[in-house]
């Protein structure tokens, strides 16, 4: 990435928009959705901006522009419609240390305006680093179709109940709770307009700690092709997102690992040195030790998960730990659960973190 996506707090901050025409009005419409104070710098305003000024929704300064006008701005948009004037104003804003967006001049932008799907407080921002805004709008349309209109209200309800869940549930249970909320009956009830019912369902789940099947430790073996990220399945991505600890081969591409939860523990597995002796049973035992602590364990390996080891299967089954095999799209056959393929000789770079409790 050449740019880093981040959401900025705008409450109590000032945004400066330079220009009094349609381009400036477009940026003003966008920032009016936030809690920022807006200052327009322009000798004159078009009717839309003039109405906003008369309604006291924006400030207007028609004086000659200097760098001091930008000194305390959280963000500056320059949109006069004249490329030469915009470039000159960009220089003034940069002298004040401002973060600047210049309309239709990506090379002068510190930040780009994304296409936005607004289900506040759920906000999806789609950016192309200024290269393909039409594509960003097409993606926005697809996302608009996926997310129900009232999803933001459900997120706000969950936010109001977070403290209640924090007081009553463990960190692992809270993750399970919110996964259940946003994929189960509470979301369905809210989507059909029954906010009161949705709130009742969530509160009851928090107070009783009863929200679906009891979650225990598990092991998932995922097959990944190091040369074809696109062959990893949707189920594999879901398991990576749910994992508490991830074991992976050093050869695994970073872009596949990036699909996992950022806060999941990660342990690199490398081929053992010639003097090392680590059996298949010990390998499975390390995964088992983590699963017995109640963790969702994911093992991502480069290569197939077929021709499974009977030893590994027996170890997990004997300890009541669910074992799931997730082959890649390229697999020719998918064998039933209970099959696993682990490297016969492995060494662990951080074994201490997986000791049994």
Q: Give per-residue pLDDT as tens, 76-118.
A: 999 999 999 999 999 999 999 999 999 999 999 999 999 999 9
Low-confidence ranges of the chain (pLDDT < 50): 273-279, 307-309, 332-357
Q: Does domain 218-354 have CATH number 3.40.1010.10?
A: yes
3-class secondary structure, 220: strand
Q: How many whole angstroms separate alpha carbon 118 and alpha carbon 257?
A: 29
- Specify whether the CB–CB gap between 117 and 144 falls below 8 A: yes
pTM for the complete prediction?
0.67
Q: How many whole angstroms separate alpha carbon 135 and alpha carbon 140?
A: 9
Q: How many whole angstroms separate alpha carbon 126 and alpha carbon 140?
A: 7
Q: How many whole angstroms separate alpha carbon 326 and alpha carbon 338?
A: 12
- Spell out the residues 6+ positions from residue 346 whose beta carbon is closer than 8 angstroms to its own: 269, 270, 271, 272, 278, 283
Q: How many whole angstroms separate alpha carbon 29 and alpha carbon 36?
A: 12
Give the pLDDT score at 317. 80
Give the pLDDT score at 92. 96
Q: What are phi and psi of 217, to 5 degrees?
A: -65, 150
Mind listing the pLDDT tens digit for each residue in 116-150? Answer: 999 999 999 999 988 898 999 999 999 999 999 99
- Spell out the residues 6+ positions from residue 57 whose beta carbon is closer than 8 angstroms to its own: 32, 38
Give the pLDDT score at 270. 63
Q: Is 97 left (phi over 0), alpha (psi -120 to 50) or beta?
A: left
Query: In terms of C-beta density within 10 A (0-12 exposed, 13-18 middle, 19 or more buried), how is residue 44 classed?
Result: exposed
Q: How many whole angstroms separate alpha carbon 148 and alpha carbon 282?
A: 48
Give the containing element (helix H, strand E) for 245.
strand 245-249
Q: What are phi and psi of 299, to 5 degrees?
A: -110, 115
CATH architecture type of domain 14-113: 3-Layer(aba) Sandwich (3.40)
Query: In terms of C-beta density within 10 A (0-12 exposed, 13-18 middle, 19 or more buried), how is residue 63 classed?
Result: exposed
């Amino acid at each position: 990435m050449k740019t880093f996506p981040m959401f900025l707090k705008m409450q109590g901050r000032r945004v400066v928009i330079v220009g009094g025409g349609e381009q400036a009005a477009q940026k003003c419409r966008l920032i009016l959705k936030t809690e920022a104070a807006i200052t327009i710098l322009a000798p004159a305003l078009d009717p839309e901006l003039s109405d906003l000024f008369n309604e006291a929704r924006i400030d207007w300064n028609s004086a000659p522009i200097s760098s001091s006008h930008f000194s305390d701005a959280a963000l500056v948009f320059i949109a006069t419609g004249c490329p030469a004037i915009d470039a000159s104003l960009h220089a003034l804003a940069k002298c004040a240390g401002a973060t600047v967006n210049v309309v239709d001049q990506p090379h002068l932008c510190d930040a780009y305006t994304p296409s936005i799907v607004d289900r506040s407080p759920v906000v999806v921002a789609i950016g192309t680093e200024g290269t393909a805004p039409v594509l960003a709008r097409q993606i926005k349309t697809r996302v608009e179709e996926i997310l129900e209109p009232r999803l933001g209200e459900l997120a706000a309800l969950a936010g109001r109940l977070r403290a209640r869940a924090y007081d009553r549930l463990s960190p692992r249970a809270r993750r399970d709770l919110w996964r259940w909320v946003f994929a189960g009956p509470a979301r369905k009830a809210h989507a059909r307009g029954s906010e009161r019912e949705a709130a009742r369902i969530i509160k009851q789940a928090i107070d009783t700690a009863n929200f679906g099947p009891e979650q225990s430790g598990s092991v998932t073996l995922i097959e990944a092709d190091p040369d074809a990220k696109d062959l990893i399945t949707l189920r594999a991505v879901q398991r990576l997102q749910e994992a508490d600890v991830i074991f992976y081969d050093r050869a695994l591409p970073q872009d596949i690992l990036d699909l996992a939860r950022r806060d999941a523990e990660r342990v690199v597995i490398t081929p053992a040195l010639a003097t090392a002796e680590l059996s298949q049973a010990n390998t499975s035992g390390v995964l088992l030790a983590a699963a017995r602590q109640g963790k969702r364990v994911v093992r991502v390996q480069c290569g197939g998960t077929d021709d499974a080891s009977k030893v590994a299967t027996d170890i997990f089954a004997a300890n009541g730990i669910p074992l799931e095999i997730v082959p890649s799209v390229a697999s020719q056959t998918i064998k039933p659960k209970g099959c696993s393929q682990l490297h016969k000789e492995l060494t662990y770079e951080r074994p201490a973190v997986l000791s049994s409790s």
